[in-house]
Amino acid sequence: MSLDALRRLQQAHEDLIEALDGQQVDVIETRVEHLRAAIADVRSAGGWHEMPQAQESAQQIRRLGEAARIRVNFLTDRTAQRLQMLASARGDAVGVPYTRRRARQPA
């Protein structure tokens, strides 16, 4: 197999990062679908694991995946903060729909 599938996967990651930075939901959704398809292509292709160029490319893709994850976490946090501010403005003390429930502590 050529490295084309890995190049497409790398480009899909870069495109997703650009969309996340632009904060346009419709573009993000499209880019996520492109990323999903690129991942499927790489998974279905065989024989690239042993290629030295593939190892370098895989490392770069891993770094891009981490960069995308950081952006998603940042945007998720900002969204939660905005929801909390809106809830506070309404006088709703609860208002945070994304928090985890804590386990009950024994008395």
Predicted confidence (pLDDT) per residue in 4-23, tens digit: 889 999 999 999 999 999 99
Number of domains comprising the chain: 1
Distance CA 29, CA 72 (A): 13
In 67-103, which positions are buried (b, 16+ CB within 10 angstroms) versus exposed (e)? Answer: ebeebeeeeeeeeeeeebeeeeeeeeeeeeeeeeeee
CB atoms within 10 A of CB 14: 16
> Residue 43: is it exposed, middle or buried by C-beta count within 10 angstroms (0-12/13-18/19+)?
exposed
pTM of the model: 0.73
> Do the domain assignments include residue 101?
no
Find the radius of gyration of the CA atoms of the chain: 19
Element containing residue 37 per DSSP (H, E) = helix 25-44
> Do the domain assignments include residue 102?
no
> Do the domain assignments include residue 71?
yes
Q: Which domain holds residue 44?
A: 4-83
> Do the domain assignments include residue 96?
no
> Do the domain assignments include residue 59?
yes
Distance CA 74, CA 47 (A): 36
> Do the domain assignments include residue 46?
yes
> Residue 47: is it exposed, middle or buried by C-beta count within 10 angstroms (0-12/13-18/19+)?
exposed
* Tens digit of each residue's pLDDT (9 = 90 or more) over 56-77: 888 999 999 999 999 999 999 9
Q: Is the pLDDT of residue 49 over 60?
A: yes
